[in-house]
């Protein structure tokens, strides 16, 4: 059977085709000396050599700051006006299989007890084009959490790079099939050989079931090992900001006393204020307790509450951590 | 060097002179270094020292780390640049000199970021601070480890940060403004710059004062500008140019440019450089009848 190919010289045409139909094209691109996901307008803007963008593309589905309402305070009371979200068609190009798998985790939380349309409407309009990994680094640990570069969960179209720099494409979902049809002119039939994938070695000594079992036991909650492993955490929250599955936000009113906007801003469980009560009491009064919460969220609360993964093993938190607090070292300790 | 370090740490813990040694260890794959807190003499073999030991561990001496303070008197493995921060902490009454045992490490330079390490320390991967370092031989320490460095820094500081500051200074104010607005536009308000800074030791930062909210939490141009400028101002006369904030910034904002510029301004106005003498208070917290008044116009 012939493969469907996206020739590298047609990548520009694909971008034009997407933009021409009123959409936006998000792809890894170099900005301020690092590769990040951002809106691009031409093929030359794409980063050619990268493992994983520094940020995750969740910010295009769940913006860091977004206005959810506007208010005016008048003599007769408060006039609160909700904001409608009318997202553009969005194409994410160059997702890796690990981050594609994170979308079901975001969807799970944003449709759990309340349908958050600010998220769902954006995700419905988003097509994820995953390019399977041909390289990786030592922070990659997808295989340790049960994923691999061959995983297609969350991908609408799954692409494999060929030796000549083209892509073999496979439409995975209906959304993906519709996308390929919509931009049929840029794809062509042919046959090519895919480059071998980079499959990170599974980290020995990590067992997700054992971790889950250990975390589920309440007597382990106050285990001093949490402090020993994680007291070096400085609470910067960078891990939560680059994490594709972290999704906590805060609602804040900004403006003057008489008019302003209600904004939904990313928040982080690593911040002291995250659980600070009005009384002054803080149940997570030390940084290691905040770190424990993030770990619990990924490997206990999430897998129990939703049938999706809390951690996809992309390794961003390891790369970004200023004190190199490696989540896999904690996973290893918790597997005992 | 490492053997002496381990031996000294062991002695300090065994004798009970200190209760914890704050130092560096390898990660699991021995490719990166990470901070470690050693409390048992038998664990001192974990301690290492090499050009990947970039972290300024003086951060762990601050009040933010109550669980580390609770361990008891610390010894800290510190390079000259880290010692500058300890000196500021002492002058600002955050730490008493006698309450910390400083193991000063003679240093021949560090990598700017650990990812740059390819097995050899070359000038290209060293930050500007290392090229101009005048404290390769630790200037305030209880015990110094390493062969004395003979490095002399250039008479006039040089390197990428200084070149960029010169280039910025030559621009007109509107261009400079545009430059910084663009740089700050990437800010994601994670506050990693503050968290990694040992001199940002306020237990309640102004960003956390939300009645009223002085600094908007949204990552938009106004909120980003007010945060970055506020932090810069709060470090005037205090910042030692250790570079941790720029290293920690996930979006590569060139914070070293702001901080070094402030250092130059303070140098000109007060003839003061922070971090050298633990008995001299920084200019912003003292009044001297000799203070220059020529800025009053």
Cα B5 to Cα B100: distance, rounded to the nearest angstrom: 16
Q: Name which of B125, B218, B221 to mutate to probe chain A: the one with the most chain A Cβ atoms within 10 A of its Cβ.
A: B218
| Interchain contact, B248 vs A332, CB within 8 Å | no
**pLDDT tens profile B229-261:** 999 999 999 999 999 999 999 999 999 999 999
What's the distance, CA A49 to chain centroid?
A: 20
Chain B interface test: which of A324, A327, A333 (most B C-beta within 10 Å): A324
* Chain B environment of A272 (Cβ under 8 Å): 208
The alpha carbon of residue B25 is apart from the nearest alpha carbon of chain A, in Å, by 11
Q: What residue in A sits closest to B254 (Cα-Cα)?
A: A32
Q: CA-CA distance, A126 to A23, in Å (whole number)? A: 10
List the one residue out of A316, A292, A232, A51 whose CA is nearest residue B68. A232
- Mean pLDDT confidence for A310-325: 95
CA-CA distance, A105 to A308, in Å (whole number)?
5
pLDDT of residue B212 exceeding 80, the answer is: no
Q: Average the pLDDT over A270-287 and give the result.
A: 92
Judged by CB atoms closer than 8 Å, whether chains meet at B34 and A232 is answered as yes
> Cα–Cα distance between B232 and B237 in angstroms, integer?
10
Q: Do A320 and B250 touch (CB under 8 A)?
A: yes
Give me the pLDDT at residue B249, please: 95
Decide if B268 contacts B261 (C-beta within 8 A).
no
User: Residue A88 above 60 pLDDT?
Assistant: yes
SS3 of B260-281: the string is: HHHHHHHHHHHCCCCCCCCCCC
Please choose, from the candidates A251, A314, A18, A243, the residue with its C-alpha nearest in 3D space to the C-alpha of residue A118: A251
Average the pLDDT over each of A172-186, B67-81, B196-210, B253-267 and give the range with the smallest value.
B196-210
pLDDT confidence of residue B262: 94
Q: What ipTM score was computed for the predicted complex, to two decimals?
A: 0.91
Is the pLDDT reported for residue B49 higher than 80?
yes
Q: Tell me whether residues B27 and A234 touch, CB distance under 8 A.
A: no
**Closest Cβ–Cβ partner in A286, A320, A325 for B67:** A286
Q: What is the pLDDT of residues B82-106, one digit of tens each?
A: 999 999 999 999 999 999 999 999 9
Closest listed residue to residue A91, CA positions, set A167, A49, A28: A28
Query: CA–CA separation, A324 vs B253, rounded Å?
Result: 20
Which chain A residue lies closest to B217 (C-alpha atoms)? Answer: A265
The pLDDT of B165-171, averaged and rounded, is: 96
Residues linked to residue A122 through DSSP beta bridges, in sequence order: none
Q: Indicate yes or no: CB of B192 within 8 angstroms of CB of A252.
A: no
What pLDDT score was predicted for residue B190? Answer: 87
Q: Do B65 and A268 touch (CB under 8 A)?
A: no
Average pLDDT, chain A: 94
Q: At B61, list the tokens.
A: 């001496």
| Residues of chain B numbered 168-187 and touching chain A (CB < 8 Å) | 183, 186
Which pLDDT belongs to residue A326?
Answer: 96
Interface of A with B (CB under 8 A): 31-34, 36, 54-55, 64-65, 138, 227, 231-232, 234-238, 241-242, 250, 252, 254, 263, 265-266, 268, 271-273, 286-288, 319-320, 322-326, 328-329, 332
Q: What was the pLDDT predicted at B114?
A: 94
Q: In the A/B pair of chains, how many CB contacts fall below 8 A?
A: 109
Q: Is pLDDT above 90 for A256?
A: no
Of the candidates A298, A118, A265, the one whose C-alpha atom is nearest the C-alpha of residue B191 is A265
Task: State the average pLDDT for chain B.
Answer: 93
Q: Could you tell me where the DSSP H helices lie in chain A? A: 11-20, 97-100, 103-110, 117-124, 174-182, 208-216, 225-230, 238-242, 287-296, 302-305, 316-320, 327-334
Answer yes or no: is pLDDT of A114 > 70: yes
pTM confidence score: 0.93
Asked whether the beta carbons of residue B219 and residue A320 sit closer than 8 angstroms, the reply is: no
pLDDT at site A181: 94
- The pLDDT, as a whole number, for residue A49 is 87
pLDDT tens digits, B106-144: 999 999 999 999 999 999 999 999 999 999 999 999 999
Q: Provide the pLDDT for residue A42.
A: 95
d(C-alpha A44, C-alpha A33), whole Å: 16
Which residue is it, tokens 């070292």?
A: A329
Using the beta-carbon criterion (under 8 Å), do B28 and A326 form an inter-chain contact? yes
Q: Give the percent of chain A with pLDDT over 90.
A: 90
* Structural domain spans, chain A: 3-334
Q: pLDDT tens, A126-167?
A: 999 999 999 999 999 999 999 999 999 999 999 999 999 999
| For residues A101-120, average pLDDT | 94
Q: What is the reported pLDDT for A1? A: 54
pLDDT for B291 equals 80
- B 195-214 → A contacts, CB under 8 A: 195-196, 208, 213
**B224 vs A contacts (CB less than 8 Å):** none
Burial per residue of A304-325, b for 16 or more beta-carbon CB atoms within 10 angstroms, e otherwise: eebebbbbbbbbbbbbbbbbbb
Cβ separation of A322 and B248 shorter than 8 Å?
yes
Using alpha carbons only, how large is chain B's radius of gyration in Å? 20
- Count of Cβ atoms closer than 10 Å to residue A22 Cβ: 8
Q: State which H helix or E strand residue A82 sits in.
A: strand A77-82
pLDDT at A2 over 70: no
Q: What is residue B123's predicted lDDT score, i.e. its pLDDT?
A: 93
Beta strand A249-255 with A34-39: parallel, antiparallel or unpaired?
A: unpaired
C-alpha distance across the termini of chain B, in Å? 55
Contacts of B27 in chain A (CB under 8 A): 324, 326, 329
Mean pLDDT for the stretch of residues A284-311:
92
Q: Residue A268: list chain B partners with CB under 8 A.
A: 190
């Amino acid at each position: 059977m012939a493969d469907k190919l996206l020739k590298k010289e047609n990548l520009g045409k694909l971008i034009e085709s997407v933009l021409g139909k009123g959409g936006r094209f998000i792809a890894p691109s170099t900005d301020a000396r690092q590769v990040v996901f951002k809106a691009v307008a031409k093929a030359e803007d794409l980063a050619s050599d990268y493992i994983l963008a520094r940020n995750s593309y969740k910010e295009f589905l769940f913006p860091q700051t977004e206005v959810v309402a506007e208010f005016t305070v008048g003599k007769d009371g408060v006039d609160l006006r909700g904001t409608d979200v009318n997202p553009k068609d969005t194409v994410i190009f160059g997702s890796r299989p690990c981050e594609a798998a994170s979308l079901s985790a975001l969807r799970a939380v944003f449709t759990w007890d309340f349908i958050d349309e600010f998220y769902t409407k954006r995700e419905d309009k988003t097509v994820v084009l995953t390019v399977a990994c041909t390289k990786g680094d030592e922070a990659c640990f997808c295989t340790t959490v049960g994923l691999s570069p061959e995983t297609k969960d969350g991908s609408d179209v799954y692409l494999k790079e060929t030796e000549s720099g083209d892509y073999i494409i496979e439409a995975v979902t209906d959304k993906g099939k519709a996308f390929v049809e919509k931009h049929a002119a840029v794809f062509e039939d042919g046959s090519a050989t895919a480059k071998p994938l980079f499959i990170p070695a599974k980290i020995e000594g990590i067992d997700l079931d054992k971790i889950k079992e250990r975390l589920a036991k309440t007597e382990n909650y106050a285990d001093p090992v949490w402090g020993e492993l994680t007291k070096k955490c400085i609470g910067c929250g960078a891990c939560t900001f680059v994490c594709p599955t972290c999704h906590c936000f805060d609602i804040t009113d900004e403006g003057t006393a008489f008019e302003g906007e209600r904004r939904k801003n990313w928040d982080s469980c690593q911040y002291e204020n995250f659980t600070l009560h009005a009384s002054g009491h803080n149940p997570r009064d030390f940084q290691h307790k905040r770190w424990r919460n993030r770990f619990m969220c990924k490997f206990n609360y999430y897998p129990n509450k939703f049938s999706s993964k809390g951690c996809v093993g992309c390794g961003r938190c390891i790369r970004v951590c200023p004190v190199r607090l490696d989540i896999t070292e904690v996973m290893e300790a918790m597997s005992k | 060097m490492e053997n002496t370090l381990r031996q000294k740490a062991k002695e300090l813990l065994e004798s009970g002179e200190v209760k914890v040694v704050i130092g560096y260890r390898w990660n699991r794959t021995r490719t990166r270094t990470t901070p470690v807190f050693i409390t048992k003499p038998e664990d001192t073999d974990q301690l290492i020292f090499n050009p990947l030991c970039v972290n300024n561990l003086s951060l762990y001496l601050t009040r933010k780390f109550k669980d580390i303070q609770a361990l008891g008197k610390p010894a800290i493995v510190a390079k000259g640049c880290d010692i500058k921060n300890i000196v500021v902490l002492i002058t600002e009454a955050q730490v008493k000199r006698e309450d910390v045992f400083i193991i000063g490490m003679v240093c021949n330079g560090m990598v700017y970021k650990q990812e740059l390490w390819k097995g050899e320390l070359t000038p290209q991967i060293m930050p500007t601070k290392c090229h101009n370092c005048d404290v390769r031989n630790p200037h305030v320490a209880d015990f110094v480890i390493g062969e004395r460095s003979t490095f002399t820094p250039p008479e006039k500081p040089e390197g990428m940060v200084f070149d960029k500051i010169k280039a910025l200074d030559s621009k007109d104010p509107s261009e400079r403004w545009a430059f910084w607005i663009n740089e700050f536009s990437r800010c994601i308000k994670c506050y990693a710059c503050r968290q990694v800074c040992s001199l940002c030791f306020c237990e309640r930062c102004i960003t956390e004062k939300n009645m009223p909210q002085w600094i908007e939490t949204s990552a938009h141009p106004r909120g980003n500008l007010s945060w970055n400028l506020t932090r810069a101002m709060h470090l005037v006369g205090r910042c030692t140019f250790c570079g941790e904030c720029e290293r920690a910034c996930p979006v590569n904002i060139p914070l070293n440019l702001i901080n070094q510029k402030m250092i130059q301004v303070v140098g000109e106005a007060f003839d003061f450089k922070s971090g050298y003498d633990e008995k001299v208070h920084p200019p912003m917290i003292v009044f001297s009848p000799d203070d220059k008044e020529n800025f009053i116009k």
